Structure 1
């Protein structure tokens, strides 16, 4: 009994050779290792951003013109406690880049999850019941795909404006809604096609023949079989939605300044042309966005190759 307390793998019923085999299999897959490392780095940056800001004494929106701007009013590249220098307003580029990771994940993860849930419901319903229900839901999906992304985003942002430059709804919620609105259709098509293929399998037909209700068949027989594919596609769609958020912010219809977003930071660096004297103003947010998208893409591809052999072929 004492030995079991100090051997978690035995206590939970996983033999030691199996546990070691899984670890070795993970380490032998460079895609999983590199993707996990990059994604872990981004998640760590988002988590420790407030701690680093408190340690250096620089908030994401605090301005330090006396320490960061030279006599000509140009931002420094480094020094005075600013590792990556400052922007044209005297704000710490490193701290704002770290907080930008929090914004990107705080928008990308909920938007992708909402899109997945909506697409899952639509795809399961249309794929299982077929007929007129499937035709109607397919038309709704086609109509949603017909809306232009940027025009719709601009229209929604315009409708969200209140008096004196205020907003009716939090811009973060608006951006999440816009991205989810244009993402659920891909999940719906994926799930619908998977359900059409699976519902003719013998185990599903046996459950229907045994008198199981449609809800029970969908939840107990079909959903567990398509869940891995949907989760993997969630990881595939997430970096696309992160790019969508950065694009909207870059165009001025996403996160509003002074909230640090990688898109707004890139736009600010280019509009002010200060990246010519302080290149890290542009390199830091652009590099962070690149590494984030690269990490999720590499990880999702590795997961798809591992758990979906047909996709790997």
Structure 2
């Protein structure tokens, strides 16, 4: 090495020798900078698209456009009783099932509504007492449940067999099929009652009204309205009150289901008036614990389809 070289000359000489040994660098600085910028732009665009997609998904779910799977709300429903008697008189000579009794007969288990009727299809004298009961309705499609309503030969030494279903009541088990404008009306089961003094008069009927309660209401109360009232014919002139009558009825658990039902027995005067004179039948209004009101079919006759919970309660006499 030449001792006369300065420090700067020495460094330049060493760098020149190193360049001869090392291969030429293939990295193009300009192209590398451009490629980096492109990658950053692609990441930014992808991030923006993902954010927009998330926002669109949330907005769609909020508007109900995108059908997100949601668990069906399960309402807390407890039977509502009025006192401790098996059946209660909720209006003049109108009795409602309050604490039904489970029984077992030759044709299976059934629920005695404590709404007995005096009928006899086998004898001209009549006078036998038959309890009215409900049992689970079989053979329904998925998502549906129901009960049959029948009078049974259960007292006075009877064998407990059903005398045939007089009506059936069905409802949706998840509530989705019944969330229309109006809840389906209750069904009326008609039993012929031959009176002791008048002979076999077809006009003397006992009618048992059975209805289901909307499954999505929280701890509901049930109110039944008669557009023409329910007072008996005190003067014998077949005249019934011309103004509406609304009263609360108890509820009970349906056999074979968690659904709630209500049932009441109409007196013969009201039953005959409705059947023979074409009077508007009764309808139910359901009020949940949170104030939600569901109107039953028939409410239009009294303009009661859009009542609030306070307005429904105001119609009930204390």
TM-score by shorter chain over 0.5: no
TM-score computed with the length of structure 1 as normaliser? 0.20
Bigger proportion of residues as helix: 1
Q: Which has the higher strand share?
A: 2
Higher relative contact order (CA closer than 8 Å, sequence separation 6+): 1
